[in-house]
Structure 1
Amino acid sequence: MLDDMKLYDNFVDASPQGSLFHKSWWLDAVAPDKYKIVYIKEKDNILAAWPLVQRKIMKISMILEPQLTPILGIMFAPSSKSKYSESLSEEIRLITKLIDILPKHSYFYQRFHREFTNWLPLYWANFKQTTRYTYLIDNLSNLDLVWENIRSNTKRKIRKALRQGIKVVTNVALEEFLKINEMSYKRQGLVVPYSKEYVKAIDAACQKNNARKIFFAIDSEYKLHAAVYIVYDNRVSYYLMGGADPDLRASDAHYLALWEAIKFASTVSQSFDFEGSMHSNIEPVFRGFGGVQASYMEITRGNCFLHSTFTALRYAWSRGGIPSLICSKLIN
């Protein structure tokens, strides 16, 4: 385990594959005393690192991502190699060494940063890869251009919310966000896959590190229609959570809240990641905001039985009802 967390966090900031989800303060919030960082260090410099959260489910050792942590995976220091072939060779060497020091496990599941592109050594070590997609507004420096790239239908929804007197504020308690977040899951017949205490721990860590903002869309009677929760650093703002009142969805307030979140993100980050754009009912909403489709890797390893079981549990949770409740307890 890496002892010098300041050195590690500086490495994360410099790594092309680094994100706020890799930072030690985030890991302390989502997996206190349950994570470890395997790394390659030479001449007092970290060359590669891989944060891992290991847990046992029914006595089976698994390396999984914590809830509300959409990105982990391997990070590299910026390459000093002048040739592509040399840079690639160095990546292969480092990945191979990291795989050799992985803790023993029966099943592995992580989603890697979109800047991680070379999974060949993982393939050689019997890992599997699935391509996933998110939508990314890569350059927030020109908000007029960002607005221009938004689809006409999405713009109409934003204007509709404004005409109905919806305004977006940020001075509402976290408890109100948790209520409306839960409403969205209940509308789909799903169990919220994380506890309120878990979100509060993340929120406290984010506030301490100046890394979150919540946007509440309210009407003239102060009824809460929708909310958007983003986390951010100076590189990327991420849409982490959201929610809308099922009885007030016709106002399209969620579109306005999301647009205000993007506007704020332009003051603190270089880009905006909508995160989680694989669901067919969510993808059109995110696509409508004009982001580019960006691919990233879901990396797994385990025997066919464990992989099938884990996939089946996740699918059963997504179907809602009693299976959702049971699977939520098992998976999370």
Structure 2
Amino acid sequence: MLNKELYRQLCEREPSIPLFSQAWWLDSVTGKEGWDVVLVEDGDEIVASMPFTIKKIYGLSIISQPILTQSLGPWLRKSDARYSRKLGLQKKRIQELFAKLPTFDHFQQNWHSDITNWLPVYWLDFQQTTRYTYAITDLSNLDAVLSNFDSSYRNKIKKALKIVAVKEDLAIEDFYKINALTFSRQNVSIPYTLEFIKNHDLILSQKKKRKIFYAEDSQGKIHSALYLTWDANSSYVHMVGEDPDLRNSGAGILLIWEAIKYTAQSLGLNRFDFEGSMLETVEPVRRDCGGIQVPYFTITKTPSRILKTALFLKAWKAGR
């Protein structure tokens, strides 16, 4: 049986596989033929897996992170072995996964924050950069969660409640419009098409893994929108949109609060992930909403000397 079919079956029965590594998620962001997976088996049981995407760019084979996908990297079956034995298994299984990858000229993946041991690939001459998402990791007491918001943000929520009404399930075409405004405010082109987002949203809707919240005033103007996704362990702020002319209403902070409440009360989950951000202008919003830093690894390797030189020159010019 092909690896991908075995992996699809694994995803159906294994709730510990994160949202962004699910086979159906990869179908939605790359197409069914746009990704592959390597597996490690022990007898008849899959004990490790790692999905990946590989593209040919100017004749070079590039393994990289798919769009709108926070993390990939290895999934390892949990072990009850003693600590030293557990580390030994991690080394063995991660290195087996990487040995099964096709030949590549450049590799870059963001690993899920659950994977905290990158030594097995350090020994294979890979490099690591620590990045951060922000998360609220205990939603058992929503009053305590709200009290961890900065006081100015709690006031914004009160202000927004007098200006807008929170509604659900905005049409994806309308979400895309306000999502695009967020990019245009930063003078950046939106990195995906409406057709792509419609297909992505259709799959998420079919899997019942998304909810779109939006804030609308009495004149029918949409101030802000938030696209929430989730798996068995956490919810994620997948995408947001905000009308730059209406930002002062506080609607964006209100929607974060509504999404947190939905996560705890409707989904029964205890973790809310802001999905970043490393952007200096966005990071204060995450921590002022009570988010704590959660480190994760970006793993890279560039065997191609030509590409390595090009990447070095690009970084050097950016730093001048």
Same fold, judged at TM 0.5 (above):
yes
Q: TM-score, normalised by structure 2?
A: 0.92
Contact 2:157 2:250 survives alignment (8 Å): yes
Q: Which residue of structure 1 aligns with residue 261 of structure 2?
A: 263
Q: 1:245 to 1:75 in 2, by over 3 A?
A: same
RMSD over aligned CA atoms reads 2.1
The alignment status of 1:252 with 2:254, answered yes or no, reads no
Q: Which residue of structure 2 aligns with residue 76 of structure 1?
A: 76
Q: 1:194 to 1:295 in 2, by over 3 A?
A: same
Q: 1:302 to 1:227 in 2, by over 3 A?
A: same
Alpha-carbon offset, residue 270 of structure 1: 2.2
Q: Which residue of structure 2 aligns with residue 234 of structure 1?
A: 232
Q: Which residue of structure 2 aligns with residue 328 of structure 1?
A: none
Distance 2:159 2:74 in 1: 43
Q: Which residue of structure 2 aligns with residue 213 of structure 1?
A: 211
Distance 1:143 1:271 in 2: 12
Which one of 3, 7, 10 corresponds to residue 9 of structure 2? 7
Q: Which residue of structure 2 aligns with residue 105 of structure 1?
A: 104
SS of the residue corresponding to residue 147 of structure 1 reads helix
Distance 1:77 1:216 in 2: 38
Contact 1:12 1:19 survives alignment (8 Å): no
The amino acid across from 1:253 in the alignment is A
Contact 1:29 1:201 survives alignment (8 Å): yes
Q: 1:315 to 1:277 in 2, by over 3 A?
A: farther
Contact 1:212 1:230 survives alignment (8 Å): yes
The alignment status of 1:299 with 2:299, answered yes or no, reads yes
Q: Which residue of structure 1 aligns with residue 40 of structure 2?
A: 40
SS of the residue corresponding to residue 217 of structure 1 reads strand
Q: 1:41 to 1:10 in 2, by over 3 A?
A: farther
Distance 2:179 2:298 in 1: 26
The amino acid across from 2:120 in the alignment is P
Q: 1:314 to 1:48 in 2, by over 3 A?
A: farther
Alpha-carbon offset, residue 275 of structure 1: 0.8
Aligned 1:130-279 pairs, distance under 5 A: 130-163=129-162, 165-266=163-264, 267-268=266-267, 269-279=269-279
Uncovered stretches (5+) of structure 2, i.e. residues with no partner: none
Q: 1:244 to 1:309 in 2, by over 3 A?
A: farther
The amino acid across from 2:25 in the alignment is W
Contact 1:129 1:297 survives alignment (8 Å): yes
The amino acid across from 1:123 in the alignment is Y
The amino acid across from 2:236 in the alignment is Y
Contact 1:111 1:298 survives alignment (8 Å): yes
Q: Which residue of structure 2 aligns with residue 54 of structure 1?
A: 54
1:224-251 residue CA offsets vs partner (Å, 9 max, x unmatched) = 0111111112311011111111111111
Q: TM-score, normalised by structure 1?
A: 0.89
Q: 1:312 to 1:238 in 2, by over 3 A?
A: farther
Alpha-carbon offset, residue 171 of structure 1: 3.6
The amino acid across from 1:186 in the alignment is S
The amino acid across from 1:108 in the alignment is F
Alpha-carbon offset, residue 65 of structure 1: 1.1
Distance 1:248 1:310 in 2: 40
SS of the residue corresponding to residue 188 of structure 2 reads coil
Q: 1:147 to 1:188 in 2, by over 3 A?
A: same
Distance 1:199 1:189 in 2: 20
% identical equivalent positions = 39
